[in-house]
Structure 1
Amino acid sequence: MYLSRVPVNPLSHAFRRDYSDVHDMHRTLMARFPEAPQDVPAREHQRLLWRLEGQGRELVMYVQSREHPNWGSLPEGYLGGRALVRSLQPVLSAVTDKAEFNFRLTANPTRSVLPPPNGQKRPRGTRRPIHDPELQVQWLIRQGERHGFALLESSTGDPDVVALPRHPVVGYKEAPPNGSGRSRLKITVSSVTFDGRLRVTDPEAFRAALQSGIGRAKAYGCGLLSLAPARRVG
Structure 2
Amino acid sequence: MPYLSRIRINPLRADSRRLLASPRAMHAAVQGGIPNPPEHDRTLWRLDADNPHRPHLFVLTTDKPDWTHLVEQAGWPGADGEHYAIRDYTPLLQQLAPGRSFAFRLTANPVQNTKRPDKPTKSQQQRTEAGQTRGFRLGHRTAAAQLGWLLTRTPRWGFDIPTTPGQLETHDTKGESPRDVRITTRQHRSFGKEPITPKEQRVVMNAVTFEGRLRITDPDLLAACLLAGIGPTKAYGCGLLTLAPLPERA
Q: TM-score range by the shorter chain?
A: 0.7 to 0.9
Output aligned runs, 1:214-233, within 5 Å.
214-231=230-247
CA distance in 1, matches of 2:48, 2:180: 22
Matched, 1:158 2:174: no
Structure 1: 5+ residue runs without aligned partners? 176-181
User: Which residue, out of 47, 55, 58, partners 1:59?
Assistant: 55
Q: Deviations over 1:39-87 (max 9, x none)?
A: x23xx1xx41111112432111111111111111337341146111111
Give distance in 2, aligned partners of 1:25 and 1:228: 25
More moved, 157-166 vs 94-103: 157-166
Q: Which consecutive residues of structure 2, in runs of 5 or more, have no partner in the other structure?
A: 77-81, 118-127, 171-176
Change (3 A) 1:87 1:96: same
C-alpha root-mean-square deviation of aligned residues, in Å? Answer: 2.5
| Equivalent-residue separation in structure 2 for 1:165 and 1:75 (angstroms) | 26
Tell me the equivalent position of 1:179.
Answer: none
1:171 to 186, 191, 205: 191
Give the ranges of 4+ consecutive aligned residues of structure 1 lying more than 6 Å apart after TM superposition: none
Distance 1:211 1:29 in 2: 16
SS of equivalent to 2:65: coil
Aligned residue runs from structure 1 range 202-217, under 5 A: 202-217=218-233
Question: For residue 11 of structure 2, what is the amino acid of its counterpart?
Answer: P
- Please give the secondary structure, in 2, of the residue aligned with 1:174: coil
Equivalent-residue separation in structure 1 for 2:241 and 2:134 (angstroms): 29
For 1:215 and 1:68, the matched residues in 2 are separated by 25
The corresponding residue for 1:50 is 45
3-state DSSP of counterpart to 1:111: strand
From the two aligned structures, give the one with the greater strand fraction: 1
Identity in percent: 34
Is the contact made by 1:98 and 1:199 (CA closer than 8 Å) also made in structure 2? yes
1:92 is aligned to 93
Q: Tell me the CA shift for residue 211 of structure 1.
A: 0.7
Number of matched residues? 221
Distance 2:43 2:129 in 1: 39
TM-score normalized by structure 2? 0.79
The separation in 2 between residues aligned to 1:212 and 1:152, in whole angstroms, is: 24
Shift of 1:5: 1.0
C-alpha spacing 1:75/1:149, structure 2 compared with 1 (3 Å): closer
Note the 1:26-45 alignment, pairs <5 A: 26-36=27-37, 40-41=39-40, 44=41
Deviation at 1:224, TM superposition (A): 0.8
Q: Is the 8 A contact 2:67 2:84 kept in 1?
A: yes
Q: 133-142 vs 98-107, which deviates more?
A: 133-142
TM-score by length of 1: 0.84
Q: CA deviation at 1:109?
A: 0.4
Structure-2 residue corresponding to 1:18: 19
Partner of 2:216: 200
SS of residue paired to 2:209:
strand
- 1:183 to partner: Cα distance: 4.4
1:51 touches 1:63 (CA, 8 Å); kept in 2? yes
> Which amino acid letter does the alignment assign opposite residue 49 of structure 1?
L
Which residue identity does 2:185 align to in structure 1?
Answer: P
